[in-house]
A = this chain, B = another copy of it.
Amino acid sequence: MKIQESAEMYLETILILSKKNHQVRSIDIANELNYAKPSVSVAMKNLRENGYIEMDSDLYITLTEKGRAIAEEMYERHTLLSEWLIFLGVDKKVATEDACRIEHVLSAESFEAIKKHVHGHISN
């Protein structure tokens, strides 16, 4: 089963939230994404059933190996793309929003090519 764009978004959000908070619950994801609780609840059920996340008895969410791989891939894309758009003069908010949509539709090949190109421009 091919992973869906929405699933990628949820996994990335879990990663981001677990970087700044220590524990992540469905409600935190709902707040972060401005989604209604049931939307997240259903999505988490799916991610759980497909082995992308685990939930302990207190309903705290952790990424599995498989889920983390996707989350980190998305996060890397997001970071690189938004930094690059900002570097090109795009407003930070707009750059972030755009990166957030582009990251899900890029092939691995194109991303690698962009990455190589960008590293020749931004020094960090």
Tell me the bound Cα distance from A117 to B86 in angstroms. 12
Tell me the bound Cα distance from A106 to B85 in angstroms. 11
Tell me the bound Cα distance from A114 to B90 in angstroms. 9
* A3 interfacial contact with B, CB 8 Å: no
Interface size class, chain A:
20 to 34
Dominant secondary structure of chain A at its interface with chain B: helix
A117 cross-chain contacts in B, Cβ below 8 A:
88
Tell me the bound Cα distance from A32 to B101 in angstroms. 26
Known A88-B114, A88-B116; contact A105-B107, beta-carbon cutoff 8 A: no
Contact partner, A94, options B98, B101, B102, B109, Cβ 8 Å: B109
Enumerate 30 A-B pairs (CB-CB under 8 Å) in ascending A order: A85-B110, A85-B113, A85-B114, A88-B110, A88-B113, A88-B114, A88-B116, A88-B117, A89-B113, A89-B116, A90-B107, A90-B109, A90-B110, A90-B113, A91-B109, A94-B107, A94-B109, A94-B110, A95-B110, A97-B107, A98-B105, A98-B106, A98-B107, A98-B110, A101-B105, A101-B106, A102-B102, A102-B105, A102-B106, A105-B105
